[in-house]
Structure 1
Amino acid sequence: MTLADFIEADLSALVREWTEYARVLSARDSHLSDAQLQNDGAALLNAIVDDMRTFQSPAYRENKSLGERDSTSHFSFVSEQHANARVSQGFSITDVTAEFRALRAAVLRRWERTGDPGTAAFQEIIRFNEAIDQALSESVLSYSARIERGRDLFVAMVSHDLRSPLGAIAASAHILRNDPKLPAQSRDVAAISERAANKMSRLLDDLLTFTRSRLHDELPLQKQAASMQDICTLAVEEVRAAFPRAAIDLHFAGDLNGVWDPERIAQLMVNLLSNAARYGRGAITAQALGMGDQVALSVYNEGEPIPGDRMLTLFEPLTRSDAPDRRGGAAGMGLGLYICRCISSAHGGTIRAESSDSGVTFTVSLPRA
């Protein structure tokens, strides 16, 4: 009797033993029925049997061992369904991994007890282990993707819901800051509150951009005729308020009119300038240059050159370098440059970084429309 035949013949007992183990793992979720746990186990074991009986060339098996997968296959579908069910049933990723370990042990122990595995037992065990490993890999991938999506949705919802109360705080602080009837000390406190609320608002904007990209949602743009000179001027004023000690020189040249999302471009410039203020030293030079059907934005700051290995992941999320000044928003979390890339890409543009012993320059090229 082959191992696949044994699993098929002993399916009920194997599922029952596996269910008992799953019940221990999910003891905190007493609402789960045996039927729920058994159905998932039976479907997965049947898929493993089918996989073991399917001819697989040596090249196919080698590629599979290296991580290649057919996401459209029935085997992948069943593995993903199993992972999704376990997420819904409250299992942790550790529980899912332990489940597969228990299944592997249960099948091999029970097969050994038959006393006559046959001369082909070694190859049978290899195929079984390959199937288990593939099912585990598919399940972990699906489980992780679903958990990450849920986390991203939560962050997106919280970030979105916090924008309204923060806007109210900033508006109220603005009114108090400009109320001549209040003493100077009270107006100063209101100004601090307004700056803090605006900083938090920028952080939430960056987090929303980040979660939208992770959820594969298209970054929403509200394009309109705009002046890059006006956008950059407002961005510099905002960064000067957040970094009072930063010396920023702003230069313009050429035709700077075009069609963009002004708020998004301002967000991009604020992130680049904040990054320069936080990581660089000396004066910061920002420039907007109109050339033909393109407008180029650049931000230069003096400072240490960026290491070569860091350049490879410079625009990836959550890859922050240590900075002497840790003030600021999402850029301090390793999101600022990633968001700059998202915004430039959404406008059909590009962003690049150049590093030398004298300093670092970020250049953004954007089409006019």
Structure 2
Amino acid sequence: MRLASFIRENIAPIVADWESFAITLDPSGARTESLVIRDHIQEILEFIVADIETTQTDGEQVEKSRGEKPEQHYPSAAEVHASLRYDGGFNMEQMVSEYRALRTSVVRLWKASGIALNMPDFDDLTRFNESIDQALKESISDYSKKLELSRNLFLGILSHDLRNPLGAVSMSAELTMKIGELSGRQLMLQSQIVESASRASEIVGNLLDLTRARLGSGLPIIRHVMDMGFVSRLIVDEMRAIHPHQEFLLNVSGDVSGLWDKARIGQVFSNLIGNAVQYGFRTTPVAIRVEGAPNEVVLSVHNEGVPIGADALPTLFNALTRAQPNDDTKSRPLSGNLGLGLFIVKEIITAHGGTISVSSSEKDGTWFRARFPRTDKVVDIKSKTLGTKPDSAAQLSDRVPV
């Protein structure tokens, strides 16, 4: 029996034999269900069979041996398999060893069938190895691209999100030393140092979690009862320390409490306000609104400046994309980020089940509006018992979801 026919008629036992090895590579330490561990292996085998049976010239064989065979469609079964293995936490060595095991399973079972090999069979075996190598090349290429993107995003997010809080730490510390005697102003600045350093630590911890999640699976969200108005005041005060000559107008209205990730919400505020400062006219204020509605809380950030071009709007929230500074902001030092601010904002909002929109014109300026749905009702024990509105971390800790 020719090799292609053998594979086609024995896919089930080949996959079962291969699975006995592949299941030992499960990085979670648990025995993944067969439906998961077998993903796309049958499709890869079907690709191999079709490739073996396809007529091939000597020139095409040389081209394939160099890894230059044109891809028929994207994503191929091998590329999908690589994506699933990447998202599942497999390293590249584990993924490559799966192909080695698949090659061994097919050849061993074919040999055990009692076939007497002749010259056409050796040709089939050569074509089989070429096909395995082609699938392996596609898997490695796809896996490597995702790994590289992960590294770039990690470094970009790290540099981007630590810039504002650490900038506030540095400036506040310098001002404290220049003021001299301990005063109310010094106490305020020292408090800013503590708060900004704490937020920086939270971001670092979240970034480590983000790396473990491999980024491709989405941002991890840890929900706690919180007051979005409280976070907005913290971030606006931080921005005032960083940009002492910029005017900020903050308006908080309605019930802005809910179940969200406080550190992530802080990132959204920081990125949107920082973006407004960078691309707005320095002579006009940056306006921030936090509005509580029955089913959601809406965050709006507004600045006056050169409108965002219509051609830039569709890709505004993509990674590694940044707007060009206008004439009024060219003299300001560039943020030095990799164009990840709005990408991070959208990912955080999406992870909370929310949406973000942007509008920009000469008449109305630029508006970013983020909507965060309420996932559950929140009872404010302290407000019910004392009739006070929580505005501190201590009071926020007394809130519980029901």
Q: TM-score, normalised by structure 2?
A: 0.51
Give, in whole Å, the separation in 1 of the partners of 2:206 and 2:322. Answer: 15
Any idea what the Cα deviations from partners look like across 1:67-112, whole Å, max 9, x if unmatched? 34123899999xxxxx945999xxxxxxxxxxxxxxxxxxxxxxxx
The offset of 1:231, in angstroms, is 1.7
Give, in whole Å, the separation in 2 of the partners of 1:200 and 1:257. Answer: 20
Give, in whole Å, the separation in 2 of the partners of 1:73 and 1:87. Answer: 12
Instruction: Name the SS of the counterpart of 2:245 in structure 1.
Output: coil
* Residue 146 of structure 2: aligned partner: 145
The offset of 1:50, in angstroms, is 4.8
The offset of 1:258, in angstroms, is 2.2
Give, in whole Å, the separation in 2 of the partners of 1:219 and 1:260. Answer: 12
Instruction: Name the SS of the counterpart of 1:308 in structure 2.
Output: coil
* Residue 259 of structure 1: aligned partner: 259
1:363 equivalent in alignment to 2:362: no
Task: Indicate conservation of the 8 Å contact 1:286/1:297, yes or no.
Answer: yes
* Residue 335 of structure 1: aligned partner: 340
1:38-77 equivalences in 2 (<5 Å):
50-54=49-53, 65-71=72-78
* Residue 217 of structure 2: aligned partner: 216
Paired residue type of 2:295 = D
Which protein is richer in helix relative to its size? 1
Task: Indicate conservation of the 8 Å contact 2:291/2:297, yes or no.
Answer: yes
* Residue 95 of structure 1: aligned partner: none
Residues 1:307 and 1:132: Cα distance change in structure 2 (over 3 Å): farther
Residues 1:221 and 1:152: Cα distance change in structure 2 (over 3 Å): farther
Aligned CA RMSD, in angstroms, stands at 5.4
Give, in whole Å, the separation in 2 of the partners of 1:304 and 1:210. Answer: 34
Give, in whole Å, the separation in 2 of the partners of 1:201 and 1:76. Answer: 32
Gaps in structure 2 of 5+ consecutive residues:
5-44, 56-69, 85-90, 97-127, 376-402
The offset of 1:206, in angstroms, is 8.6
* Residue 106 of structure 1: aligned partner: none
Task: Indicate conservation of the 8 Å contact 1:84/1:142, yes or no.
Answer: yes
Give, in whole Å, the separation in 2 of the partners of 1:288 and 1:213. Answer: 32
* Residue 298 of structure 2: aligned partner: 296
1:348 equivalent in alignment to 2:353: yes
Give, in whole Å, the separation in 1 of the partners of 2:214 and 2:349. Answer: 13
The offset of 1:207, in angstroms, is 6.0
Residues 1:356 and 1:73: Cα distance change in structure 2 (over 3 Å): closer
1:264-283 equivalences in 2 (<5 Å):
264-281=264-281, 282-283=284-285
Aligned length, in residue pairs: 268
**Aligned-residue identity in percent:** 26
1:232 equivalent in alignment to 2:232: yes
Paired residue type of 2:358 = A
Residues 1:360 and 1:142: Cα distance change in structure 2 (over 3 Å): same
1:301-312 equivalences in 2 (<5 Å):
301-312=303-314
Paired residue type of 1:283 = P
Residues 1:277 and 1:238: Cα distance change in structure 2 (over 3 Å): same
Residues 1:76 and 1:229: Cα distance change in structure 2 (over 3 Å): closer
Give, in whole Å, the separation in 2 of the partners of 1:71 and 1:85. Answer: 15
Paired residue type of 1:71 = A
1:177 equivalent in alignment to 2:184: no
The offset of 1:346, in angstroms, is 2.1
* Residue 382 of structure 2: aligned partner: none
Residues 1:253 and 1:304: Cα distance change in structure 2 (over 3 Å): same
The offset of 1:287, in angstroms, is 0.7
Residues 1:71 and 1:227: Cα distance change in structure 2 (over 3 Å): same
Q: TM-score, normalised by structure 1?
A: 0.55
Task: Indicate conservation of the 8 Å contact 2:82/2:143, yes or no.
Answer: no
Instruction: Name the SS of the counterpart of 2:372 in structure 1.
Output: strand
The offset of 1:269, in angstroms, is 0.8
Residues 1:50 and 1:258: Cα distance change in structure 2 (over 3 Å): closer
* Residue 20 of structure 2: aligned partner: none
Paired residue type of 2:270 = V
The offset of 1:143, in angstroms, is 3.3
Gaps in structure 1 of 5+ consecutive residues:
5-45, 57-62, 78-82, 89-126
Paired residue type of 1:236 = V
Residues 1:49 and 1:291: Cα distance change in structure 2 (over 3 Å): closer
Give, in whole Å, the separation in 1 of the partners of 2:80 and 2:229. Answer: 54
Paired residue type of 1:257 = S
Give, in whole Å, the separation in 2 of the partners of 1:260 and 1:86. Answer: 37
Instruction: Name the SS of the counterpart of 1:295 in structure 2.
Output: strand
Give, in whole Å, the separation in 1 of the partners of 2:198 and 2:81. Answer: 49
Task: Indicate conservation of the 8 Å contact 2:219/2:347, yes or no.
Answer: no
Paired residue type of 2:267 = Q
